[in-house]
A = this chain, B = another copy of it.
């Protein structure tokens, strides 16, 4: 919050380090996707992938590392950002549209509530459903063609997102948990959101 006048937390001053010696002369600042990487990511996104599971991220990351240096978090962030910005883009478009079709907004803003975000949503929440991908080729096996490797169909839908919550809860191994009773064999083991993934 706040950049307003208040304490701007300066984010990393960074000492650029990077461990590895990997790549080309990269200074190792932030990740910069290669065109190939970007293409794959974009394709996955277009195919409907929005919030990849931990497994998926791992897999994607591993595969993309072929094209250049990359880490899991980069994949994670990419999807986060891309999803958000696509949404934002669409929203803005419709706002502009509205704007264009009615010059006087004074009739509207009295409806604004002070601080809820709901008003934002109401503007244009067409929220594209996250498609359930039955078969999705994560990577070009040979180079181009799409084969059908199976990928989890763990996508959640907007109206039905509790399901995956429970799923997460149930499947979260939670470390040393001795509580064997919670067990329940899991067939798909990904905790989905990676944020947790490994706690």
* Chain B proximity of A57: nearest CB distance (Å): 9
When C-beta atoms are compared, the residue in chain B nearest to A71 turns out to be B199
A34 interface residue per 8 A CB criterion: no
A141 interface residue per 8 A CB criterion: no
Assess the A161–B26 pair: CB atoms within 8 A: no
* Chain B proximity of A191: nearest CB distance (Å): 8
Interface residues on A, range: 35 or more
**In this complex, which of A54, A165, A179 has the most chain B Cβ atoms within 10 angstroms of its Cβ?**
A179
* Chain B proximity of A18: nearest CB distance (Å): 8
Assess the A129–B178 pair: CB atoms within 8 A: no
When C-beta atoms are compared, the residue in chain B nearest to A5 turns out to be B125
CA distance A36 to B71 in the complex (A): 38
A28 interface residue per 8 A CB criterion: yes
CA distance A3 to B179 in the complex (A): 34
A101 interface residue per 8 A CB criterion: no
A35 interface residue per 8 A CB criterion: no
Which listed residue, B10, B119, B178, touches A158 by the CB 8 Å rule? B10
Assess the B189–A199 pair: CB atoms within 8 A: no
A38 interface residue per 8 A CB criterion: no
Contacting residues, chain B, for A186 (C-beta < 8 A): 173, 175, 182, 184, 197-199
Q: A7-B127, A196-B197 are in contact. List 5 more A-B contacts (CB 8 A).
A: A19-B169, A71-B174, A72-B199, A109-B114, A114-B120
List residues of A whose CB falls within 8 A of some B CB. 1-2, 4, 6-7, 9-15, 17-21, 23, 25-26, 28-29, 54-55, 58-59, 61-62, 71-73, 76, 105, 109-110, 112, 114-115, 117-123, 125, 127, 129, 158-162, 165-166, 169-170, 172-182, 184-190, 192, 194-199
